[in-house]
Structure 1
Amino acid sequence: MTEQLTDSTARIADARPCTLGEGVFWHPQREQLFWFDILGRRLLSQQGDQPLEWSFDARVSAAGWVDDSVLLIASETALLTFNLATGARETVCALEADNPLTRSNDGRADPWGGFWIGTMGLNAEAQAGAIYRYYRGELRRLFASISISNALCFSPDRRYAYFADTARQQIWRQPLDERHGWPSGEPQPFIDGRVAGLNPDGAVVDSQGRLWNAQWGASRVACYDSEGRFLQAVAFPASQVSCPAFGGAGLSTLFATSARVGLKDDSLAAEPHAGKLFAVEVAAQGQAEHPVIL
């Protein structure tokens, strides 16, 4: 199939530029969007027309929701709870705290209440990262030797997890144990971006099992069916699109974060919206994000 880029009517959903936007997700109880600027060490949100922002002492990258007021947030050294009402922060467990050369990156809650989180080298060093799952009080390493962990998401039938190593330009599909959601068997290649020169970044699966993948450097989020076949791609006005999420009424708005990191002055002049948050209406419905069970 010839890959066609859909001309989107993507709008700027939030004009605050992030150095490295990531980890966007829609809180289903609060009906509120959250996302991160990893290198800016901040969590961003909106409440109506009011922009919200919280600063952290370390790089923060991904989150899941615990209840109406508490998030589980991944920092470069820990998983921690964060109370949106009070600002209180408590460490749940360490995350490669003994390794000063890595940080957290992509993460998402699974249908069993577990939280998957990937790490990577501060300078994307080869095979410096890993992918973990926090479940029922235990943080367990699932996959080692990952260079740039990304695309952690789950099929609506609970059969599969997906993950990417952006440096290897591939996404894998991992069968899951039906009872507790642990990996069952070996991961299988799902999407290979090497031929087309695509770099898979964050991803999300919609209610029909289609995977929507932000592709770093390609100004787009691409949609694939449940067998990994390309369906369409939605264009965004920034080359470094990093992470998608469904939110809004009916979970039919596709949001996407982007980044300015690494762009030189001439590139930034050509991409004045780099680092901003975008939104576009699509003919798809997302899954509600699963709660994290601590």
Structure 2
Amino acid sequence: MWWVDILEKRLFERSLREDAEPARIHTLPFMASDVASIDPGRQLLSVDDGLYVRTIADGQLSLYAALEADDPGTRSNDGRVHPSGALWIGTMGRDAQTGRGAIYHVAGTRITRLYAGLTTPNGIAFSPNGATGYFVDTDEGVLRRVALDPATGLPAGEPETHYDHSGGEGGIDGAAVDRDGLIWTARFGAGCLDAYSPAGERVRTIPIPARQPTCPTFVGRDLDRLLVTTAYEGMSAAERADDPEHGRTLLVDVGVRGLIEPAFRLVA
């Protein structure tokens, strides 16, 4: 399992074996928000100023492609690799300024801006066949779907409302899709995970012991558990005391199976 602490510039690594050692912590020179596999020996990290290839054996980093490098006021945020091997990656203002965010499509070194004017792009996920993409601006609260070209991961239509959570408790954050096409999302500020059907209905809600879950992803030999990151950003000392699991990374049994995360293709 790999996950990041964005604000503290740390990359975590832990085996899922029962006798596994505690998580290893790798200090990074930048704020990384997304980790994608390239092959067994390399990863792609989405960071403040671009995309970097990381060699797992020695932690060596090399710039692969710049992304908003000329704007020091933004950073990367949520991302997922499409079944085609292309990456969708979001950016946002470092202080979550309104409208500073965007979502990009990365195929090899070709970077295409798909959507602009977002505040906190999240919920990036794809249907099992790659024909539908999902995303949300957490600030707005509307989970959107868009038809995609399964061969490229590029939009083949305009985004539509999948589920309108505006005005509801908490905000839709990161997402992962299971093998049956349910979209599992973390609901930041509400202490739960939600599952939405491909038809746009909320079909399950599972409470978790941390108020601010940020992103789920399927892990394990059978891909039958969700690794869920949580955060305590913005919480007061009293709120932390009332939420003792704040900032922890959790394993949650949800009774469904996920999909293997696709690897990023270096060559488009």
Under TM normalisation by the shorter chain, which class is it? over 0.9
Partners of 2:153 and 2:240 in 1: how far apart? 42
Number of the residue aligned with 1:5: none
Number of the residue aligned with 2:73: 101
Is 1:235 equivalent to 2:235 in the alignment? no
- 1:13-52 correspondence runs (5 A): 33-47=1-15, 48-52=20-24
Which amino acid in the other structure matches residue 212 of structure 2? Q
Partners of 1:195 and 1:168 in 2: how far apart? 9
CA deviations 1:108-153 (Å, max 9, x no partner) are 1110110110001111101101000110320111111110010111
Number of the residue aligned with 1:148: 120
Partners of 1:239 and 1:94 in 2: how far apart? 34
SS at match of 1:157: coil
Q: What's the Cα RMSD here?
A: 1.0
Number of the residue aligned with 1:30: none
Identical-residue share of aligned pairs (%): 34
Is 1:61 equivalent to 2:21 in the alignment? no
Partners of 2:9 and 2:211 in 1: how far apart? 22
Is 1:211 equivalent to 2:183 in the alignment? yes
Number of the residue aligned with 1:70: 42
Q: How many residues align?
A: 262
SS at match of 2:259: coil
Gaps of 5+ in 1: 1-32
Which amino acid in the other structure matches residue 103 of structure 2? I
Partners of 2:116 and 2:158 in 1: how far apart? 13
Is 1:82 equivalent to 2:50 in the alignment? no
Partners of 2:233 and 2:260 in 1: how far apart? 30
Is 1:272 equivalent to 2:244 in the alignment? yes
- Which of structures 1 and 2 has the larger relative contact order (alpha carbons within 8 angstroms, sep 6+)? 1
Number of the residue aligned with 2:100: 128
Aligned with residue 171 of structure 2, among 183, 193, 199: 199
Which amino acid in the other structure matches residue 107 of structure 1? G
CA deviations 1:79-112 (Å, max 9, x no partner) are 0000110111110111111111111000111101
Cα offset, 1:196, TM superposition = 2.4
- 1:250-261 correspondence runs (5 A): 250-261=222-233
SS at match of 2:241: helix
Partners of 1:198 and 1:172 in 2: how far apart? 17
Partners of 1:109 and 1:179 in 2: how far apart? 13
SS at match of 1:151: strand
Which amino acid in the other structure matches residue 267 of structure 1? E
CA deviations 1:186-216 (Å, max 9, x no partner) are 0111111114244110000000000001011
Which amino acid in the other structure matches residue 276 of structure 1? R
Partners of 2:121 and 2:215 in 1: how far apart? 12
Partners of 1:206 and 1:250 in 2: how far apart? 12
Q: TM-score, normalised by structure 2?
A: 0.95
